[in-house]
Protein backbone atom coordinates (compact mmCIF):
# COMPACT_ATOMS: atom_id res chain seq x y z
CA UNK A 1 0.00 0.00 0.00
CA UNK A 2 1.27 3.50 -0.79
CA UNK A 3 1.92 5.72 2.20
CA UNK A 4 2.05 9.51 2.33
CA UNK A 5 5.58 10.84 2.87
CA UNK A 6 6.99 14.26 3.79
CA UNK A 7 10.72 15.03 3.65
CA UNK A 8 12.23 17.24 6.35
CA UNK A 9 14.68 19.55 4.62
CA UNK A 10 15.04 20.95 1.13
CA UNK A 11 18.77 21.02 0.50
CA UNK A 12 21.22 18.78 -1.35
CA UNK A 13 20.63 15.65 0.69
CA UNK A 14 16.86 16.17 0.61
CA UNK A 15 16.92 16.10 -3.21
CA UNK A 16 18.73 12.77 -3.15
CA UNK A 17 16.29 11.37 -0.60
CA UNK A 18 13.38 12.55 -2.79
CA UNK A 19 14.80 10.65 -5.76
CA UNK A 20 15.17 7.53 -3.67
CA UNK A 21 11.54 7.80 -2.56
CA UNK A 22 10.44 8.51 -6.14
CA UNK A 23 12.16 5.26 -7.18
CA UNK A 24 9.55 3.36 -5.18
CA UNK A 25 6.23 4.85 -6.38
CA UNK A 26 4.57 1.63 -5.26
CA UNK A 27 5.46 2.48 -1.64
CA UNK A 28 5.63 6.26 -1.30
CA UNK A 29 3.25 9.04 -2.22
CA UNK A 30 5.39 12.16 -1.77
CA UNK A 31 3.41 15.07 -0.36
CA UNK A 32 6.23 17.66 -0.30
CA UNK A 33 8.96 18.88 2.00
CA UNK A 34 9.39 21.28 4.90
CA UNK A 35 12.16 23.86 5.09
CA UNK A 36 12.74 27.34 6.54
CA UNK A 37 14.48 28.87 3.53
CA UNK A 38 13.52 28.93 -0.17
CA UNK A 39 14.58 25.78 -2.05
CA UNK A 40 13.97 26.38 -5.77
CA UNK A 41 16.12 23.41 -6.89
CA UNK A 42 14.24 21.02 -4.65
CA UNK A 43 10.93 22.29 -6.02
CA UNK A 44 12.04 22.21 -9.66
CA UNK A 45 13.97 18.94 -9.71
CA UNK A 46 11.86 16.84 -7.39
CA UNK A 47 8.56 18.44 -8.41
CA UNK A 48 7.65 18.77 -4.73
CA UNK A 49 6.07 21.75 -2.99
CA UNK A 50 7.40 23.34 0.17
CA UNK A 51 4.69 22.72 2.79
CA UNK A 52 6.07 25.21 5.32
CA UNK A 53 8.63 25.20 8.09
CA UNK A 54 9.45 22.28 10.32
CA UNK A 55 7.42 23.87 13.11
CA UNK A 56 4.35 23.70 10.84
CA UNK A 57 5.14 20.07 10.10
CA UNK A 58 5.19 19.15 13.78
CA UNK A 59 1.57 20.22 13.97
CA UNK A 60 0.90 18.40 10.74
CA UNK A 61 2.46 15.28 12.21
CA UNK A 62 0.16 15.45 15.22
CA UNK A 63 -2.88 15.84 13.03
CA UNK A 64 -2.07 13.52 10.18
CA UNK A 65 -1.21 10.21 11.81
CA UNK A 66 -1.28 8.58 8.40
CA UNK A 67 1.68 10.65 7.16
CA UNK A 68 5.21 9.35 7.33
CA UNK A 69 8.34 11.49 7.62
CA UNK A 70 11.99 11.09 6.70
CA UNK A 71 14.96 13.29 7.53
CA UNK A 72 16.43 14.93 4.44
CA UNK A 73 19.06 16.89 6.34
CA UNK A 74 22.61 15.62 5.85
CA UNK A 75 25.81 17.52 6.57
CA UNK A 76 29.48 16.51 6.66
CA UNK A 77 30.88 15.08 9.86
CA UNK A 78 29.37 14.18 13.21
CA UNK A 79 26.76 16.70 14.33
CA UNK A 80 23.80 16.89 16.68
CA UNK A 81 21.58 18.75 14.19
CA UNK A 82 19.91 15.61 12.83
CA UNK A 83 19.40 14.14 16.30
CA UNK A 84 17.93 17.43 17.55
CA UNK A 85 15.47 17.56 14.65
CA UNK A 86 14.29 14.02 15.32
CA UNK A 87 13.86 14.80 19.00
CA UNK A 88 11.67 17.78 18.10
CA UNK A 89 9.46 15.66 15.87
CA UNK A 90 9.37 12.73 18.28
CA UNK A 91 7.48 14.96 20.68
CA UNK A 92 4.87 15.32 17.95
CA UNK A 93 4.50 11.55 17.77
CA UNK A 94 4.98 11.17 14.05
CA UNK A 95 6.04 8.14 12.04
CA UNK A 96 9.53 7.65 10.57
CA UNK A 97 9.83 6.05 7.16
CA UNK A 98 12.88 4.13 6.00
CA UNK A 99 13.56 4.91 2.35
CA UNK A 100 15.45 2.35 0.30
CA UNK A 101 16.29 3.19 -3.31
CA UNK A 102 15.00 0.64 -5.79
CA UNK A 103 18.55 -0.17 -6.96
CA UNK A 104 19.90 -0.95 -3.47
CA UNK A 105 20.29 -4.52 -2.31
CA UNK A 106 19.36 -5.15 1.29
CA UNK A 107 19.73 -8.75 2.44
CA UNK A 108 16.55 -10.32 3.78
CA UNK A 109 18.48 -11.18 6.95
CA UNK A 110 19.66 -7.59 7.53
CA UNK A 111 17.64 -5.38 9.87
CA UNK A 112 16.85 -1.76 9.16
CA UNK A 113 15.74 0.66 11.87
CA UNK A 114 13.29 3.51 11.46
CA UNK A 115 14.02 6.66 9.47
CA UNK A 116 16.94 5.03 7.66
CA UNK A 117 17.95 6.23 4.18
CA UNK A 118 19.66 3.78 1.81
CA UNK A 119 20.62 5.29 -1.53
CA UNK A 120 21.23 3.98 -5.03
CA UNK A 121 23.56 1.06 -5.57
CA UNK A 122 24.13 0.30 -1.89
CA UNK A 123 24.71 -3.27 -0.75
CA UNK A 124 23.74 -4.24 2.78
CA UNK A 125 24.80 -7.82 3.29
CA UNK A 126 23.42 -10.64 5.43
CA UNK A 127 23.09 -10.17 9.15
CA UNK A 128 23.93 -6.45 9.09
CA UNK A 129 21.91 -4.20 11.42
CA UNK A 130 21.26 -0.55 10.70
CA UNK A 131 20.19 1.70 13.58
CA UNK A 132 17.58 4.44 13.42
CA UNK A 133 18.09 7.48 11.17
CA UNK A 134 21.37 6.38 9.68
CA UNK A 135 22.24 7.24 6.08
CA UNK A 136 24.01 4.86 3.72
CA UNK A 137 25.04 6.89 0.70
CA UNK A 138 25.25 5.83 -2.94
CA UNK A 139 27.33 2.78 -3.75
CA UNK A 140 28.47 2.07 -0.20
CA UNK A 141 28.89 -1.53 0.89
CA UNK A 142 27.91 -2.63 4.38
CA UNK A 143 29.24 -6.16 4.68
CA UNK A 144 27.79 -9.07 6.59
CA UNK A 145 27.09 -8.64 10.30
CA UNK A 146 28.15 -4.99 10.46
CA UNK A 147 26.44 -3.05 13.26
CA UNK A 148 25.60 0.53 12.32
CA UNK A 149 24.48 2.73 15.21
CA UNK A 150 21.80 5.40 15.17
CA UNK A 151 22.52 8.59 13.22
CA UNK A 152 25.64 7.18 11.57
CA UNK A 153 26.36 8.49 8.07
CA UNK A 154 28.34 6.37 5.63
CA UNK A 155 29.47 8.37 2.59
CA UNK A 156 29.40 7.44 -1.06
CA UNK A 157 31.56 4.52 -2.10
CA UNK A 158 32.72 3.52 1.38
CA UNK A 159 33.18 -0.13 2.26
CA UNK A 160 32.61 -1.46 5.77
CA UNK A 161 34.10 -4.91 6.33
CA UNK A 162 32.21 -7.82 7.84
CA UNK A 163 31.50 -7.67 11.56
CA UNK A 164 32.73 -4.09 11.95
CA UNK A 165 30.90 -1.77 14.35
CA UNK A 166 30.08 1.85 13.57
CA UNK A 167 28.96 3.36 16.85
CA UNK A 168 26.24 5.99 16.96
CA UNK A 169 26.78 9.43 15.44
CA UNK A 170 30.04 8.52 13.72
CA UNK A 171 30.73 9.58 10.14
CA UNK A 172 32.59 7.65 7.45
CA UNK A 173 33.91 9.88 4.63
CA UNK A 174 33.88 9.34 0.88
CA UNK A 175 35.44 6.10 -0.27
CA UNK A 176 36.86 5.12 3.10
CA UNK A 177 37.45 1.50 4.11
CA UNK A 178 36.87 0.05 7.53
CA UNK A 179 38.53 -3.27 8.26
CA UNK A 180 36.36 -6.21 9.24
CA UNK A 181 35.59 -6.57 12.98
CA UNK A 182 37.00 -3.13 13.82
CA UNK A 183 35.06 -0.50 15.78
CA UNK A 184 34.66 3.17 14.89
CA UNK A 185 33.73 4.94 18.14
CA UNK A 186 30.69 7.11 18.64
CA UNK A 187 30.96 10.58 17.17
CA UNK A 188 34.24 9.75 15.42
CA UNK A 189 35.07 10.99 11.92
CA UNK A 190 36.78 8.84 9.30
CA UNK A 191 38.27 11.11 6.64
CA UNK A 192 37.65 10.45 2.97
CA UNK A 193 39.87 7.78 1.49
CA UNK A 194 41.06 6.46 4.85
CA UNK A 195 41.76 2.80 5.56
CA UNK A 196 40.76 2.10 9.14
CA UNK A 197 42.74 -0.88 10.41
CA UNK A 198 42.27 -0.54 14.20
CA UNK A 199 39.68 0.82 16.64
CA UNK A 200 38.94 4.53 16.29
CA UNK A 201 38.37 6.09 19.73
CA UNK A 202 35.13 7.99 20.19
CA UNK A 203 35.01 11.57 18.99
CA UNK A 204 38.36 11.53 17.18
CA UNK A 205 39.12 12.16 13.50
CA UNK A 206 41.32 9.72 11.59
CA UNK A 207 42.77 10.13 8.09
CA UNK A 208 45.13 8.33 5.78
CA UNK A 209 46.23 4.83 4.86
CA UNK A 210 46.53 3.30 7.37
CA UNK A 211 44.27 5.71 9.24
CA UNK A 212 45.88 7.69 12.04
CA UNK A 213 44.40 10.18 14.49
CA UNK A 214 44.54 13.63 12.99
CA UNK A 215 46.41 16.16 15.08
CA UNK A 216 44.17 19.03 16.11
C1 LIG B 1 39.20 14.80 7.31
C2 LIG B 1 38.43 16.07 7.00
C3 LIG B 1 37.21 16.12 7.91
C4 LIG B 1 39.34 17.25 7.30
O5 LIG B 1 38.68 18.42 6.91
P6 LIG B 1 39.34 19.86 7.27
O7 LIG B 1 39.47 19.98 8.74
O8 LIG B 1 38.53 20.88 6.55
O9 LIG B 1 40.78 19.72 6.70
P10 LIG B 1 41.51 20.59 5.54
O11 LIG B 1 40.84 20.35 4.22
O12 LIG B 1 41.65 21.99 6.04
O13 LIG B 1 42.92 19.92 5.47
C14 LIG B 1 43.81 19.97 6.57
C15 LIG B 1 44.98 19.06 6.27
O16 LIG B 1 44.54 17.68 6.32
C17 LIG B 1 44.76 17.07 5.02
N18 LIG B 1 43.57 16.26 4.77
C19 LIG B 1 42.28 16.66 4.70
N20 LIG B 1 41.48 15.62 4.47
C21 LIG B 1 42.25 14.53 4.40
C22 LIG B 1 41.97 13.18 4.17
N23 LIG B 1 40.71 12.74 4.00
N24 LIG B 1 43.02 12.33 4.16
C25 LIG B 1 44.29 12.77 4.33
N26 LIG B 1 44.60 14.05 4.56
C27 LIG B 1 43.60 14.92 4.59
C28 LIG B 1 44.91 18.21 4.03
O29 LIG B 1 45.68 17.84 2.94
C30 LIG B 1 45.58 19.24 4.89
O31 LIG B 1 46.93 18.91 4.99
P32 LIG B 1 48.09 20.04 5.17
O33 LIG B 1 47.78 20.74 6.47
O34 LIG B 1 49.36 19.27 5.18
O35 LIG B 1 47.94 20.95 3.99
C36 LIG B 1 37.94 16.14 5.53
O37 LIG B 1 38.98 16.35 4.62
C38 LIG B 1 37.17 14.93 5.08
O39 LIG B 1 37.71 13.85 4.80
N40 LIG B 1 35.84 15.15 4.97
C41 LIG B 1 34.90 14.14 4.51
C42 LIG B 1 34.26 14.63 3.21
C43 LIG B 1 33.19 13.69 2.77
O44 LIG B 1 33.27 12.49 2.95
N45 LIG B 1 32.15 14.24 2.20
C46 LIG B 1 30.99 13.46 1.82
C47 LIG B 1 30.15 14.25 0.84
S48 LIG B 1 28.83 13.25 0.24
Q: What is the pLDDT of residue 56?
A: 75
Instruction: Clarify whether residues 44 and 104 are in a common domain.
Output: no
Ligand 1: centre distance to CA 138 (Å): 20
**pTM > 0.85:** yes
User: Per-residue pLDDT for 54 more than 80?
Assistant: no
Q: What is the pLDDT of residue 51?
A: 92
Instruction: Clarify whether residues 11 and 92 are in a common domain.
Output: yes
Other Cβ atoms within 10 Å of 50 Cβ, number: 17
Instruction: Clarify whether residues 89 and 25 are in a common domain.
Output: yes
**Mean per-residue pLDDT, 63-86:** 88
**Mean per-residue pLDDT, 7-14:** 96
User: Per-residue pLDDT for 66 more than 90?
Assistant: no
What's the domain range around 90? 3-97
Q: What is the pLDDT of residue 62?
A: 62
User: Per-residue pLDDT for 63 more than 80?
Assistant: no
Instruction: Clarify whether residues 15 and 55 are in a common domain.
Output: yes
Which residues' Cβ are closer than 6 Å to ligand 1?
A: 76-77, 137, 155-156, 173-174, 189, 191-193, 205, 207-208
| 159-167 contact pairs (CB < 8 A, 24+) | 162/125, 167/202
Cα–Cα distance, 124 to 114 (Å, whole number): 16
pLDDT in tens, 80-89: 899 998 888 8
Residue 150's SS3 state is coil
Task: Please state, in angstroms and as integers, the Cα–Cα distance from residue 139 to each residue in 63, 147, 182, following that order.
Answer: 37, 18, 21
Instruction: Give the residue from 49, 72, 97 where a domain finishes.
Output: 97
pLDDT in tens, 174-201: 999 999 999 999 999 999 999 999 999 9
Dihedrals φ, ψ of 155, to 5°?
-80, 170
Instruction: Clarify whether residues 137 and 190 are in a common domain.
Output: yes
Instruction: Give the residue from 97, 121, 149 where a domain finishes.
Output: 97
Ligand 1: centre distance to CA 191 (Å): 6
What is the side-by-side strand order in the sheet with 141-142?
105-106, 123-124, 141-142, 159-160, 177-178, 195-196
Residue 195's SS3 state is strand
210 within a domain of the structure (yes/no): no
68 within a domain of the structure (yes/no): yes
Ligand 1: centre distance to CA 125 (Å): 29
| Cα four-point dihedral sign 162, 170, 18, 64 | positive
pLDDT in tens, 98-142: 999 999 999 999 999 999 999 999 999 999 999 999 999 999 999
Ligand 1: centre distance to CA 154 (Å): 16
215 within a domain of the structure (yes/no): no
Pocket test for ligand 1, best of 152, 207, 211 (most atoms within 8 A of CB): 207
Q: Which helix (H) or strand (E) holds 60?
A: helix 54-63
> Any idea what the CATH number is for the domain that residue 64 is in?
3.40.50.20
Instruction: Give the residue from 46, 74, 97 where a domain finishes.
Output: 97
What is the separation, in whole angstroms, between the first and last Cα of the chain? 51
pLDDT in tens, 145-165: 999 999 999 999 999 999 999
Number of domains in the chain: 2
Instruction: Clarify whether residues 93 and 33 are in a common domain.
Output: yes
Instruction: Clarify whether residues 21 and 89 are in a common domain.
Output: yes
pLDDT in tens, 16-35: 999 999 999 999 999 999 99
Instruction: Clarify whether residues 90 and 110 are in a common domain.
Output: no
Amino acid sequence: MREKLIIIGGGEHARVVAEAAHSRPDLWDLQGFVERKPCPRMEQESGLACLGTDEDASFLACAATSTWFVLGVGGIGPSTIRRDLIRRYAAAGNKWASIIHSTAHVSPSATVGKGVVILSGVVVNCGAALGDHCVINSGAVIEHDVLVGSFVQVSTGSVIGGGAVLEEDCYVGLGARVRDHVTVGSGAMVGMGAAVVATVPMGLTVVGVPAKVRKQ
